[in-house]
Structure 1
Amino acid sequence: MSTLTELHDKLTNEQPRLDKLDKYWRGEQAAAFLSPESKKALGDRLQSVCVNYPKLAVVSLADRLNLTGFRIGGPESAPDTALWQLWRRNGMVEGSHEVIRDALAYGRGYVIVWAGPRGVRITVESPRQMTVLRDPATREVTVGMKRWIHEGHGYCTVYGAEEIITYKTETKTSNIDHVAEHDWKQFQYVSNPLGVPPIGQVLNRDRLLDFDGVSEMSGILDLTDALNKILLDALVTSEDYARPRRWATGMEIVEDDEGNPINPYGDDSKRVWTNEAEGGKFGQFAQADMSGYGEMASLFIQQIGAIKALPAHYLGLPNDQPPGADAIRSSEASLVSHARRAISMMGGDFAWIAALILAVRDGVDPYEADVETVWANPETRTPAQAADAALKLSTIGVPLETLLADELGYDPTRIKKIMDSRRAEALEKAATDLSSLV
């Protein structure tokens, strides 16, 4: 089997799983746990009822993962301004959020680093269009492929360590998953001087052998289906049984010419109801008790929150007392810990992407580049709390540049501006002091 075919087949086989995750992300999954009879009775009603906790699990974690810079030369170095400016010019401040969301939703996201007409070009790629193969011994990416359709033709680019080859289908196609191997013809060839595929793969890993990552939505999909089923049952019950049903005895049912019963009272709320039959009575049935649905829904919501470390105020669970600042931070402790783990995992992936940028820009060996990522603090803190923490750390000798990056979450460009302003103020003050002595 050729490398092209192996990559093509792998990407094709991944599509059903990615389609399923896509539906849960959008809240468009089919209603589960309903009997065929219930689905038939509902018809087209209430097919889109969904409480989208899978998306919440991704977004609540992704919002705490903010890459703010890179250090070259180890943790003692200041954030590199030039590298961050290159990152920002390529739209990667926003792109890093996109690839992180893909990594959390699908299990992985991709970044391609290559030379463009204006210097280094960095692009974010979707797992719907891209995949890679790894060396089973070293677990390093050995080759990758991106494929797409343009003007009716299928295209795919195979990124190897020595060469980058683009293929195009001879015939037009609307479904790239079913392109035969013989239909791919070489379209473009470029030599790769880097010696490694110019691909960065950002993974959301749980265990060592999760080569393709794990979706943050996994583990709660069935619970979400069960919760949606409970809510669907509650809506059906409220439609048919929650409103009291009235009854009357001793009345003759009059039908129209087509045999349909005629309502003797109509829908006018001001009409007086009368019953001329001797012994005729009016009454109403007791309404359905809906409290059980709320209890079951709360049970499923609590299980979802426990599995994904989501605090109660994220899940919309009722609370008799408004939570205070300390209570909120305590309830978010597990989520913050989860975010720190994700930072430690993805930090190495983004450091490799930065090493590829240096390899393209400066011609260095990416394996020799010493790059460390800088992330904003994932904890929930007000600006005053962050400034107070930075002030206390400064009293024990932590450098200002480190505090600006790690505690206040400033990017390298802003840090450089602040440091330049402080130096200018110090020089101006020194000049003023010297002039008074002349």
Structure 2
Amino acid sequence: MTYPTTPDEWVLYLQRLHDTELPSLEGLDAYYEGEQPLTYMNPEILAEVQDRLKAVIIGWPQLVVDAIEERLDITGFRLPGATGADEDLWKVWQYNDLDEQAPQAHVDALALSRSYVTVGSREGSDIPLVTAESPLELFAAIDPRDRSVRAALRRVNQPEDLARVAERTATLYLPDETIWYDWSGGAWKEVDRDEHKLGEVPVTPIVNRPRLRQARKTRTNAYQLRYGRSELASVLPLSDAANKLATDMMVAAEFVAIPQRGFLNVGPDKFRDGNGNQLSPTQVLMGQLLAIPGKGTDAKTFEFSTADLNKFIQAINALAHVVAAMAGLPPQYLGYASDQPASADAIRSAESRLIKRAERKQVAFGGSWERVMRLVRRFQDPSSKDDPALHRMETMWRNAATPTIAQAADRAIKLYAAPAGQMPIVPLRQTREDLGYTDVQISRMEEEDEKARQQDPVAALGRALDMNSTNGTGDDGGAEPAGDRAPQTAPAEGD
């Protein structure tokens, strides 16, 4: 395949690819936000009730995504040989407010199959600019040979409002330069350029569930499997069915939850509103009246009993069970509860699949964030490209499980405590990391520990005795070896 060779060609090429998949991405975004259209509803019924009833949307898609994202918290980046998180990288992380941006990037990656993180120069500062970007605005072309980014294009459309006119801007990311464009005169016009000479595109995709295959075609679309797959893909049909049932339940509540009265031998054309206008059969029905024309002349009234809506609830609950099984969600996440509260062991067992799914995401997303931090170092120090330590960087995550504080403390104490004369299984610093303390908190604890040791005279005496017993050889003016000292005897009584 022949790829574009000039920036203008890259803009047109990436724009065309992005426009092709935007409808599917916007559809997934609508499902996550709970704004998807109602399916399976009869158009005639929808036209009659749309001004009286709103579609009942059950937010299962958002629940599936948020349940995983809530367990994806980054606490730092550790280089090989270091005991804690790298302070310089964490400074960049905090300076760019990535504590707030990273969860947004994870949500888009889980819901829309991927998100992006860009790195660039910051005006007036030596700290690189790092931003998380939505796949609704940015598209990156992936090289099928080494999975690297060939080029990326970000387009932003600012709609017109009372404060400003409509604006369209674009940013083209290439291996050695970044170019900014404005839309003017029906075409993109270059307005600025940064020649960073990195030799690689400063854009990193965070891809959810990528596949080894390049693409898969369906009857309606072609999916780029290497660009990821949404976590919502398997639950969307179930969500549509549940929304339909919930809306049908509301329609049934509107028509038959209240006893319905009827007239026999009276046609619907006999009913009129307060202005004398004839009512349609549906309007008559929605007024809790059922008109049945007949051959007789005498009008008769009758009444139907109310309908049982529990069948709708049972059907929705059955779909909820399937969603829980496919998404690995515990039953309590979908509102199931019993009279007897679940035990701690039962809760941990129910969360086992969800925890494992979150840990898988930590591994996949962690690799992307490590590539971002390597780009940060490249902007800070161009000579760091061949630093092998950066390629062994480790992303530090908070524990994806949800143990109670007492359980975590009990486990940590058992691993750290050891019988006299034996070394603990894990050192104190690792114990504090397992308890969920940040690297800053652990460093502050270690400073307080050192102050306490310096202020404790008994501990100081013990350290001095240990030093004397270790260094006392008798050859350099120190204490005599224990084997060469004469035994001290107590004086005899009466001396």
Same fold judged by TM-score > 0.5? yes
Specify whether residues 82 and 247 from structure 1 end up closer, same or farther in structure 2 by C-alpha distance, changes over 3 A only: same
Structure 1 residue 45, shift from structure 2 partner: 3.2
| Corresponding residue to 2:137 among 126, 129, 148 | 129
Match of 1:113 in 2: 119
Contact 1:31 1:228 in 2 (8 A): yes
**Alpha carbons of structure 1 residues 419 and 235: separation in structure 2 relative to 1, 3 Å:** same
Work out the CA distance in 1 between the residues paired with 2:462 and 2:327.
63
Aligned equivalent of 1:65: 72
Of stretches 227-236 and 161-170 in structure 1, the one that deviates more from structure 2 is 161-170
* SS across alignment from 1:112: strand
Q: Give the corresponding residue for 1:424.
A: 451
Partner residue in 1 for 2:166: 152
Deviations 1:386-407 (A, max 9, x none): 22222223244323333333x2
Q: Write the distance in 2 (CA, Å) between the matches of 1:12 and 1:430.
A: 72
Cα deviation digits, residues 130-159 of structure 1 (max 9, x gap): 111111111111221212246534221111
Distance 1:51 1:94 in 2: 27
In the alignment, which of 328, 347, 356 is matched to residue 309 of structure 1?
A: 328
> Who is 1:352 aligned against?
371
Give secondary structure in 1 for the equivalent of 2:54. coil
The equivalent residue for 2:149 is: 141
Query: 8 Å contact 1:376–1:408 — kept in the other structure?
Result: no
Which residue number corresponds to residue 184 of structure 1? 188
CA distance in 2, matches of 1:155, 1:257: 55
Unaligned segments of structure 1, at least 5 residues: 172-178, 262-279
Identify the residue that residue 12 of structure 1 maps to in structure 2.
19
1:34 is the counterpart of 2:54: no
Question: Counterparts of 1:328-343 in structure 2 under 5 Å?
Answer: 328-343=347-362
Say yes or no: does 1:167 pair with 2:186.
Answer: no
2:209 matches 1:205: yes
Pair 1:45–1:24, CA change in 2 (3 A): farther
Instruction: Tell me, yes or no, if the aligned pair for 2:55 and 2:243 is still in contact at 8 Å.
Output: no
Structure 1 position 361, deviation (Å): 2.2
1:288 to 300, 307, 320: 307
How far 1:120 moved relative to its partner? 2.0
Shift of 1:291: 2.2
Change (3 A) 1:155 1:282: closer
Check the 8 A contact 2:265/2:300 in 1, yes or no: yes
Q: Secondary structure at the match of 2:319?
A: helix
1:376 to 382, 398, 407: 398
Question: For 1:344 and 1:87, how far apart are their aligned partners in 2?
Answer: 19
**Structure 1: distance between partners of 2:426 and 2:463:** 33
Residue number in structure 1 paired with 2:438: 411
Over the matched positions of the two proteins, sequence identity in percent amounts to 31
Shift of 1:436: 12
2:470 matched residue in structure 1 = none
Cα gap change, 1:404/1:352 in structure 2, threshold over 3 Å: closer, same or farther? farther
Q: Deviations over 1:1-36 (max 9, x none)?
A: 521111111222222112111211121111101122
Give the conservation status (yes or no) of the 8 Å contact 2:114–2:207: yes
Cα drift, residue 375 of structure 1:
0.5
Deviation at 1:260, TM superposition (A): 8.3
Q: Whose Rg is larger?
A: 2
SS at match of 2:199: coil
Q: More relative contact order in 1 or in 2 (CA 8 Å, sep 6+)?
A: 1
Is the Cα contact below 8 Å between 1:78 and 1:402 reproduced in 2?
no
Query: Per-residue deviation at 1:431?
Result: 8.9
Distance in 2, Cα, partners of 1:86 & 1:142 = 25
- TM-score with structure 2 setting the length: 0.75
Alpha-carbon distance between aligned partners in 2 of 1:83 and 1:292, rounded to the nearest angstrom = 56
Q: Deviations over 1:213-264 (max 9, x none)?
A: 211111111110100111111111111112223468999x999994989xxx
**SS of equivalent residue, structure 1 residue 365:** helix
Unpaired segments ≥5 residues, structure 2: 159-164, 214-224, 280-298, 418-423, 466-495
Corresponding residue number in structure 2 for 1:267 = none
Structure 1 residues 204-283: aligned runs within 5 Å? 204-209=208-213, 210-246=225-261, 258=276
Code of the aligned partner of 1:241 = V
Moved more, 353-362 or 231-240: 353-362
Q: Distance in 2 between matches of 1:342 and 1:81?
A: 25
Aligned AA (1:354): M
Deviation at 1:59, TM superposition (A): 0.5
45-54 vs 360-369, greater mean Cα deviation: 360-369
Structure-2 residue corresponding to 1:87: 93
RMSD across aligned C-alpha pairs, in angstroms? 3.0
Partner Cα separation in structure 2 for residue 354 and residue 254 of structure 1: 73
Deviates more, 1:24-33 or 1:407-416: 407-416
Query: Following TM superposition, by how much is the alpha carbon of 1:378 offset from its aligned partner in structure 2, in angstroms?
Result: 0.8
Q: Using structure 1 for the length normalisation, give the TM-score.
A: 0.85
Deviation at 1:85, TM superposition (A): 2.5
Q: CA deviation at 1:207?
A: 2.7
- Cα separation, 1, equivalents of 2:177 and 2:243: 50
Aligned partners of 1:112 and 1:289: how far apart in 2? 55
2:210 touches 2:227 (CA, 8 Å); kept in 1?
A: no
* Corresponding residue SS for 2:456: helix
Q: Partner residue of 1:268? A: none
Q: Name the structure 1 match of 2:61.
A: 54
